[in-house]
C-alpha cells in the first residue's frame, strides 16, 4: 500500500481527536506522521506539545500532508470545513467522518461528488483503548485501505462493522451510552452513601461491579437474564432490589433513552 497512508491528519483537536491520537501513538504511530489543525490556537498548541505532533496553520495544509483525514469537529462545523477543503480532496484521500447525524449523502452533496469516506461512531472510552468504534465504509473505499484504517482504529477498542442505516442506533447504544453508564455508577454509589458507605468506596465498588459484570458477560456469553437469575436467591435481597427496579421502570427507562437518542440522531440527519 502507498506509504502516504501512514500520514494521518486531524481537522479539530478536541476530545475525539485527543482520544484517537492517544491510541495511535500507543500503537506505535510516529508522532511526526500526525498532522493537526484547530481553529482554537491555544488548543492546537496544547495538543502539539502534549503528543509532539505537527500543528499546521489551516485545514487545506492538512490535506496536503496527510491522506487519512479525521474530521474531528462538531456536526454544525462540517459544512464549513467541507467547503474549505473540497477542492483539495483527491481520490487518494480517505475522509473519516465521526459526527452524529452527518450522513455520507450529506457530505457528497457539499463536496458535489462521492469521495472515499468511512463513517465511524466512536465513544469516549476510546481514550483508554476500551471504546466501541462502529465503522461503515462507502462503496468507493478500496478493501486494503479499509483494512488498514480498521487496524489503525482497533487501538481504540472493539470495532463493529455496520450498515450506515443503523448508525443512529449505534449512537443510542454505544456512542452516547457512556453517559448513561456514568449516571448508573453515580446512582449506585449514591445508594451506597445513603446506606452509610464512604463516597470513595461506594464509587470504587460501583465501578468495579460494572466492570466485573460486563466482563463476566463477555467471557461467558451467558444470557444477561440468566446471569441476573444467578444472583437472585428465592426470597433474598437481590430479588427485592430487582422488584424495586422493575416497579420504577428501570429497563423501560433505558430502552426509552436509546430510542430517543436514536431518533434525535435521525432528526439531526435531516
Ligand atoms: N465526544 C464524544 O463522546 C463523541 C462520540 C462520538 C462521536 N463524536 C463526534 O466527534 C466529533 C468531535 O467531537 P469532540 O467531542 O471531539 O468535539 P470538540 O471537543 O468540540 O472538538 C472539536 C474541535 O474542533 C475545533 N474547530 C471548530 N471549528 C473548526 C475549524 N473550522 N477548523 C478546525 N477546527 C475547528 C473546535 O474549536 P472550538 O471549540 O473553538 O469551536 C474544537 O477544538 C463530533 O462531530 C462529535 O459528534 C463525539
Answer yes or no: is the C-beta of 43 below 6 A from any ligand 1 atom: yes
User: Cell 430479588, residue?
Assistant: 239
Read out DSSP for 17-73? HHHHHHHHHHTT--GGGEEEE-SSHHHHHHHHHHHT-EE-SSHHHHHHH-SEEEE-S
- Say how many Å lie between the CA of residue 40 and the centre of ligand 1: 11
User: Cell 454544525, residue?
Assistant: 76
Instruction: Compute φ and ψ for 87, nearest 5 degrees.
Output: -75, -10
Q: How far is the C-alpha of 109 from the C-alpha of 111, rounded, in Å?
A: 6
Q: Could you check whether 3-167 and 177-269 share the same CATH topology?
A: no
**For position 204, what pLDDT does the model report?**
98
- Say how many Å lie between the CA of residue 37 and the centre of ligand 1: 12
177-269: CATH number: 1.10.3730.10
CB 134 within 8 A of CB 157: no
Burial category of 146 from C-beta neighbours within 10 Å (exposed 0-12, middle 13-18, buried 19 and up): middle
CB 192 within 8 A of CB 201: yes
Residues 140-174: tens digit of each pLDDT: 898 999 999 999 999 999 999 999 999 999 999 99
Evaluate if residue 4 carries a pLDDT over 80. Answer: no
The atom number, within ligand 1, closest to the CA of 15 reads 16
Burial category of 18 from C-beta neighbours within 10 Å (exposed 0-12, middle 13-18, buried 19 and up): buried
CB 157 within 8 A of CB 133: yes
The atom number, within ligand 1, closest to the CA of 101 reads 47
Which triple of cell numbers denotes residue 267? Answer: 432528526
Nearest Cα residue to atom 36 of ligand 1: 12
Residues 118-136: tens digit of each pLDDT: 999 999 898 889 999 999 9
CB 163 within 8 A of CB 136: yes
Answer yes or no: is the C-beta of 79 below 6 A from any ligand 1 atom: no
Domain ranges, ordered by start, for the chain: 3-167, 177-269
- Could you tell which of 10, 15, 35 is best to mutate to test the pocket of ligand 1, judged by most ligand atoms within 8 Å of the CB? 15
Class at the top of the CATH hierarchy for domain 3-167: alpha beta
**For position 164, what pLDDT does the model report?**
94
Amino acid at each position: 500500500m502507498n506509504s502516504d497512508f501512514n500520514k494521518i491528519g486531524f481537522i479539530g483537536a478536541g476530545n475525539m481527536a485527543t482520544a484517537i491520537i492517544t491510541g495511535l501513538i500507543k500503537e506505535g504511530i510516529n508522532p511526526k506522521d500526525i498532522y493537526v489543525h484547530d481553529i482554537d490556537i491555544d488548543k492546537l498548541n496544547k495538543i502539539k506539545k502534549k503528543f509532539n505532533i505537527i500543528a499546521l496553520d489551516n485545514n487545506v495544509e492538512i490535506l496536503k500532508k496527510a491522506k487519512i483525514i479525521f474530521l474531528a469537529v462538531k456536526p454544525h462545523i462540517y459544512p464549513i470545513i467541507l467547503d474549505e477543503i473540497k477542492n483539495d480532496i483527491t481520490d487518494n484521500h480517505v475522509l473519516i467522518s465521526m459526527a452524529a447525524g452527518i450522513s455520507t449523502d450529506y457530505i457528497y452533496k457539499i463536496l458535489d461528488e462521492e469521495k472515499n469516506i468511512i463513517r465511524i461512531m466512536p465513544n469516549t472510552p476510546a481514550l483508554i483503548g476500551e471504546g466501541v468504534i462502529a465503522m461503515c465504509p462507502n462503496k468507493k473505499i478500496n478493501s486494503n485501505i479499509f483494512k488498514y484504517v480498521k487496524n489503525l482504529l482497533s487501538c481504540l477498542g472493539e470495532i463493529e462493522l455496520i450498515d450506515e442505516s443503523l448508525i443512529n442506533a449505534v449512537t443510542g447504544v454505544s456512542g452516547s451510552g457512556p453517559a448513561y453508564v456514568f449516571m448508573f455508577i453515580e446512582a449506585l454509589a449514591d445508594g451506597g452513601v445513603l446506606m452509610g458507605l464512604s463516597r470513595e468506596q461506594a464509587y470504587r465498588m460501583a465501578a468495579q461491579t460494572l466492570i466485573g459484570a460486563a466482563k463476566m458477560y463477555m467471557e461467558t456469553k451467558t444470557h444477561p437474564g440468566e446471569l441476573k437469575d444467578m444472583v437472585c436467591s428465592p426470597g433474598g435481597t437481590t430479588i427485592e432490589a430487582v422488584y424495586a427496579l422493575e416497579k420504577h421502570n428501570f429497563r423501560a427507562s433505558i430502552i426509552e433513552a436509546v430510542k430517543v437518542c436514536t431518533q434525535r440522531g435521525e432528526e439531526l440527519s435531516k
